[in-house]
């Protein structure tokens, strides 16, 4: 049986989710099945339209959106716990060769779930399942648990020049 690894894409730079979707596309083209659980996103970005092209990818938005304009509520914690339980079950099964936990580190950072809960889910996974975790603020515990860690570091960004998200490029 092929061994699956744990990838962690973190840092304050742009491109963590984009890299995960790139890996998803590569896996799809190799005939693999992919699940993407988005922990804090609630807006349907253009990349989610990939589900219209193939039935070998499933994307679910599992939270109520970001916390830039509102406080965390108990419902957010409940939804995150349910989402992690669902993703844990998927990682234990054989339905998907690749499971992407998008913005999972944000859910941890805001106290929706704990590192320990995530590490327990990872420990129970089917060893053949490749797991990709994305988001800023990855803890030392997650870094240690991962087999591959990539830090996206912002050096310069056109947002600083007032350029908003562009269709097909940033969303």
The residue-averaged pLDDT of 153-165 equals 83
157 CB burial (10 A radius; 0-12, 13-18, 19+): exposed
Percentage with pLDDT > 90 across the chain: 78
Indicate the CATH number of 6-161 among 3.30.200.20, 3.90.170.10, 3.20.20.70, 3.40.50.300: 3.40.50.300
The pTM for the full model equals 0.92
CA 111 centroid distance within chain: 16
pLDDT digits (tens, 9 = 90+) for 54-110: 999 999 999 987 767 788 999 999 999 999 999 999 999 999 999 999 999 999 999
Per domain, the residue ranges of the chain are: 6-161
């Amino acid at each position: 049986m092929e061994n699956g690894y744990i990838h962690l894409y973190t840092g304050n730079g742009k491109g963590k989710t984009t890299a995960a979707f790139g890996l998803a596309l590569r896996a799809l083209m190799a005939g693999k099945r992919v699940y993407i659980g988005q922990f804090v996103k609630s807006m349907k970005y253009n990349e989610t339209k990939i589900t219209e092209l193939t039935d070998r990818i499933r994307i679910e938005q599992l939270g109520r959106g970001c916390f830039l304009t509102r406080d965390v509520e108990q419902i957010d914690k409940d939804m995150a716990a349910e989402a992690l339980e669902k993703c844990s079950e998927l990682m234990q099964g054989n339905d998907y060769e690749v499971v992407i936990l998008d913005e999972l580190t944000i859910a941890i950072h805001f106290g929706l779930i704990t590192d320990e809960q995530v590490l327990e889910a990872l420990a129970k996974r089917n060893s053949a399942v490749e797991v990709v975790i994305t988001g800023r603020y990855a803890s030392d515990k997650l870094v240690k648990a991962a087999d591959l860690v990539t830090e996206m570091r912002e050096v310069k960004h056109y947002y600083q020049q007032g350029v908003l998200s562009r269709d097909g490029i940033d969303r």
